[in-house]
Structure 1
């Protein structure tokens, strides 16, 4: 897993050991942490719909497209999936959300459109934690897709890239890769910084 900030507005200033990266390092949000004036929203066909949600949740997971891994990530985090929609809470308020997609061209393009929709201010008011990109196949992601993922992730407050888990294809329970463990801990840390009432799964 790689968590990074907006590549266009931030850069690391110190070298951080692998152990620190996995256990203690939590960088602040990137500059793009809220919608920006003057951004043009995507075409209607490229926008995610909005949906009024019953009940409540500490975190809502938005899949940018079908097969994004929305339900899987929601289960891992003890969150609720929105079925590829921006959530609108019945009782009002600003829901905390996480956008997820797959690391193929279709998934990254859908995530780019969703982030463009958000940054243009065309979505319901939300607290977007960032974008999680899940591998779409075993093995190393092609360079062209890695480069595109970095560009797309630059439009989100934070970016996590997560590896393929082969055992999930067979429905097997397996210890989570450390990238996913760190991802879960990162989200829990972010939630703890902004809410005293949220409950999160911090370990598998």
Structure 2
């Protein structure tokens, strides 16, 4: 039997495509983000646009902010595991459009040396999400394996940093879910 607390603490994770799609056209030259070579085995936070929040997630959960560039592996070193990437975007029109473009780039198979775990959408304002942005978030979520929506965190706006344990229930639960994905599917395997 599911308790009321378990229902209230549940984090909605939107599910989309599991991997790149055959026959999908990639982006035109100059449309996508640049790349950088790395052998780092940590988690990568790829901001789809300026101000997406990849530095904040790296501060809160560890990992490497990509500064709007796809991590890439050297073809000369086939023993290196794929880069583990989370796409990050603000929950506004510009942010979600940038996330859609990055998801399309990934889905076209343009980044074979990464494993995209999903998209973290970060609220861009306090309060209820407007219906248009809620719908756009759900559409964007269809282009990536999983999507987590991180609600507004006022403490980050005011102080620039926050103790995750002191957060309100909803953002704390989303960060906990992300930490579980990172620890169980990435760091636990030693990739």
TM-score normalized with structure 2 length: 0.82
Is 1:43 aligned to residue 28 of structure 2?
yes
Matched with 1:6 is none
Give 1:184 deviation, angstroms: 2.6
1:24-43, aligned counterparts within 5 Å? 30=15, 32-43=17-28
Map Cα deviations across residues 20-48 of structure 1 (whole Å, 9 max, x no partner): 35667897x94611111011112333311
Is 1:20 aligned to residue 6 of structure 2?
yes
- Indicate which of 145, 153, 163 corresponds to 1:165: 153
Give the direction of change, closer, same or farther, for the CA distance of 1:31–1:159 in structure 2 (3 Å limit): closer
Is 1:96 aligned to residue 84 of structure 2?
yes
Is 1:52 aligned to residue 37 of structure 2?
yes
CA RMSD of aligned residues (A): 2.8
The runs of 5 or more residues in structure 2 that have no matched partner are: none
Look up the SS of the partner of 2:139 in the other structure. Answer: helix
Is 1:122 aligned to residue 122 of structure 2?
no
- Indicate which of 156, 163, 179 corresponds to 2:170: 179
Give the direction of change, closer, same or farther, for the CA distance of 1:177–1:32 in structure 2 (3 Å limit): same
Matched with 2:182 is 191
Matched with 1:71 is 55
Give the direction of change, closer, same or farther, for the CA distance of 1:21–1:45 in structure 2 (3 Å limit): farther
Look up the SS of the partner of 2:109 in the other structure. Answer: coil
Give the direction of change, closer, same or farther, for the CA distance of 1:89–1:21 in structure 2 (3 Å limit): farther
What is the number of equivalent residue pairs in this alignment? 183
Contact map agreement 1:87 1:124 (CA 8 A) in 2: no
Is 1:153 aligned to residue 141 of structure 2?
yes
Name the CA distance, whole Å, in 1 between partners of 2:24 and 2:4. 37
Give 1:84 deviation, angstroms: 0.8
The runs of 5 or more residues in structure 1 that have no matched partner are: 1-14, 199-204
Give 1:109 deviation, angstroms: 0.2
TM-score normalized with structure 1 length: 0.78
Look up the SS of the partner of 2:87 in the other structure. Answer: strand
Matched with 1:85 is 69
Contact map agreement 1:66 1:84 (CA 8 A) in 2: yes
